[in-house]
Structure 1
Amino acid sequence: MATIEFDLRATLHVLKQPGVDLVLGHNTAILTLLQRASGRRVIINMDGIEWRRQKWGKAAKAWFWLNEWIGLKFVTVAIADHPKIAEHLSKRGRTGSVVIQYGSENIPGAPTEALDTLTVEPEGYFVSIARMEPENSILEMVRGFVAAKTGRKFVILGKLLPEANTYHASVLQAADEDVIFPGAIYDQSVVQALRVHCLAYIYTGIKSVEQIRR
């Protein structure tokens, strides 16, 4: 409710301002009806398919489904951050969405000292950086890594709350001593060092032990 209240206040404020409106996420896209009714141009980044996430109950999924539909039907421009999201939006009736994919700055190098606190050596570990959500296949990655017995470490960045989240608890239970959970790290020097010096980055779409071994 706090997010909805904040978004409503932001919407009412922006109605008094000149310019084009940029909305990041469709979770309260119902509020864009106020913007469109005022004759404003609204660009919305549709983000992910929130109503499919396992963590939400039926009421929340229905809310997200409705807001995704409203966002697709009534905004001026819909932005997809991946071609697959654009494909999903097209299936829901919104053709011609603009695809602006995520990118990353080129990191030519980083000091190895930042790795010391994590007790890993350059090219002696795999790394993954993602939210601890079932859709990001964290549990599958951990199980695959443990079964593969690579002799390396696996550093997984992301907020882990096993006491409050049963999925997080399952991830922690599946891990062995070679899986390291440093939490969510916002120090860019550490994040860059982890990316530069890892043996490989494990993508969140991993589904099998064979992919880890390759």
Structure 2
Amino acid sequence: MTTRRIAVVSAGLSQPSSTRLLADRLAAATVTRLGLHDVDTQVDVIELRDIAKDVTNNLLTGFPSPALAAAIETVTTADGVIAVTPIFTTSYSGLFKSFIDVLDTTALQGSPVLIGATGGTERHSLALDYAMRPLFSYLHAVVVPTAVYAASSDWGTADDPAATLPSRIERAAGEFAELVERSTRSEGKDPFALESSFAQMVGGFGAQ
């Protein structure tokens, strides 16, 4: 059975957190989808609130603590990343952005990323497409088409299959699982590498 590793980054500040709840639901739906294709999934959750001081110190000194270094390693070597943040002042939280800032700008190249966000009202949902999606696109990650936003009112119907939040979670998880299943990041391969060398391809064309 194939094994894939998913890193879940939750930037919620409260405990319990609706941000963590959304992250857990996205992860669970992804695991279920991958299981249908005989893929075993390891999920590692990173609560940014637990390493907030480490992130700040790294920005000031340039040196990560052991806890932050472990979190960075988990995210940058995973076969896929689920990233969920609360929306503050129409954009992702400062803690979320600070964590992204300590990553190497090439560390997520080719990595499948599923983005999600939580907020008080539906009007902040556009932050996913004008803030989070461009951020990960700049890092050359592969962001799935469906992003998931959960407003406070969504949680009252979160367990209703006919409601929009469960359907968005399932659709996004399906898109994400498809990319993760094909991922070769945990095997140490470049996701953009050609299967054959240029010389081999030229030779192949000449033999036709």
TM-score class normalised by the smaller sequence: under 0.3
Q: TM-score, normalised by structure 2?
A: 0.28
Q: TM-score, normalised by structure 1?
A: 0.27
Greater Rg by CA? 1
Structure with larger RCO (C-alpha < 8 A, sep 6+): 2
